Amino acid sequence: MNRYKQIESEILQATNIVITSHKSADGDSVGSSLGLLYFIEKLGKKAIVCHPDKAPDFLDILDLSSIMLMTDEPEKVTAVFQQADLIFCLDYNATDRVGPEMQALLEAATCKKIMIDHHLNPQEFPTIVVSETAASSTAQLIIELIEQSGHGDLLDAKIGTPLYVGILTDTGSFRFSSVQPRTHELLAKLLSAGVQHHLIHEALNDTNTVNRLRLQGYAMSEKMEIMDPYKVAIISLTKEELEKYQYKKGDTDNLANLALSIKGMKAAIVFSERDGMMKISFRSKGKENPVNVMATEHFNGGGHANAAGGASELSVTETLEKIKNLVPLYFSEG
């Protein structure tokens, strides 16, 4: 029995299924969770999606009402975990990625756990592991689950739309090297199932607010520093600067990609002061310029070779100085 048939079997045997994903929700975590939820429902079973925190506003194009949040309903989430007989762990490879509150519930649960993920170095806590680091996204792996368990006929627009969003956002609109021929084969299946891709692109790209554009413009014009010998762009934003532009979650998400779009740029590092610490986003181009190593070794983070995240408890000035000192150690000149 292949892993996907095994997962199907576990779904059909379970009574109380819980779908989880990582803290700081993104398109792939939300898209894969909802796609799996709708697939499970098509199999005639019920499931509950429990996430650590709220998704960014741009994902309002999806129906987020079925996602129970640890931040909003901790008692209900606790009860759901205690009753679970099957837990899905989507788009994360270690229990601490769900935040300390949900991590305690996850580790206390004695039921079977299934990891479906595409990040490096997965922990060995689940019962069943689908870890495909070459996959573009976890959403792509959910489509593989549907297809390879023999239920491709169940794919429809409801299931396919969040999965398309997951792949779209985690591949930078299909620009990253993680996009393989298989990715496009599965995307074609989603379009054949009725997914309106042009409406998704429109909904995701035409959602800017005036404050978001002004914040991004300020960041690019006033706060971007370029370490020219290494072709690395760095943007730092203080709490006061975010507040000046009435920052909302997701407003800075595209800054690293904007900086990376500069001709000849190898990498972009963006950090902002939020929740009492510096949240850092790393982006780069090419196999020769990985950023996940720096994120892991110095900023308690990690991720993909060209897209990673981290955090710093230093001040804005100290974090900026630390990054500038590290750049020559991780990037060559020229």
- What range defines the domain where residue 81 resides? 3-205
E runs forming strands in 95-212: 112-117, 128-131
Question: 157: domain CATH number?
Answer: 3.90.1640.10
Does residue 94 share a domain with residue 24?
Answer: yes
Residues 6+ apart with CB under 8 A from 50: 18, 19, 20, 67, 68, 69, 70, 77, 80, 81, 102
Please tell me whether residues 196 and 236 are part of one structural domain. Answer: no
186 and 87 co-located in one domain: yes
pLDDT at site 1? 61
Does residue 31 sit in the same domain as residue 16?
Answer: yes
Same domain, 34 and 156: yes
- Tell me, yes or no, whether 131 and 249 share the same domain: no
More confident residue, 334 or 212: 212
How far, rounded to the nearest angstrom, does the alpha carbon of residue 200 sit from its chain's CA centroid? 18
Domain stop point among 142, 173, 205: 205
Question: Hey, which residues does 20 pair with through a beta bridge?
Answer: 50, 89
263-291 pLDDT, tens digit each = 999 999 999 999 889 999 999 998 899 99
Domain count, the chain: 2
Query: Do 171 and 244 belong to one domain?
Result: no
pLDDT in tens, 163-213: 999 999 999 899 888 899 999 999 999 999 999 999 999 988 887 899 999
Please give the residue that has the higher pLDDT: either 58 or 90.
90
- Do residues 144 and 217 both lie within one domain? no
- Signed CA dihedral, 30, 23, 79, 17: sign only: positive
Identify any residues that bridge with 281 across adjacent strands, giving them in sequence order. Answer: 270, 309
- The verdict on 180 and 229 lying in the same domain is no
Residue ending a domain, choose from 175, 205, 235 = 205
User: pLDDT per residue over 205-238, tens digit each?
Assistant: 887 899 999 999 999 999 999 999 999 999 999 9
**Residue 13: per-residue pLDDT:** 97
| Same domain as 97, residue 176 | yes
Global confidence as pTM: 0.85
Q: pLDDT confidence of 110, banded at 50, 70, 90? A: very high
Q: Which amino acid is at 100?
A: P
Find out whether 219 and 252 touch, Cβ atoms under 8 Å: yes
Final residue before a domain boundary, out of 205, 231, 250: 205
Angle (CA) 95 97 100, round 5°: 75
Strand-pairing partners, residue 280, are 271, 310
190 and 216 in a common domain: no
CATH of the domain at 320: 3.10.310.30
Query: Are residues 315 and 176 both part of a single domain?
Result: no
Strands 232-237, 267-274: pairing is parallel
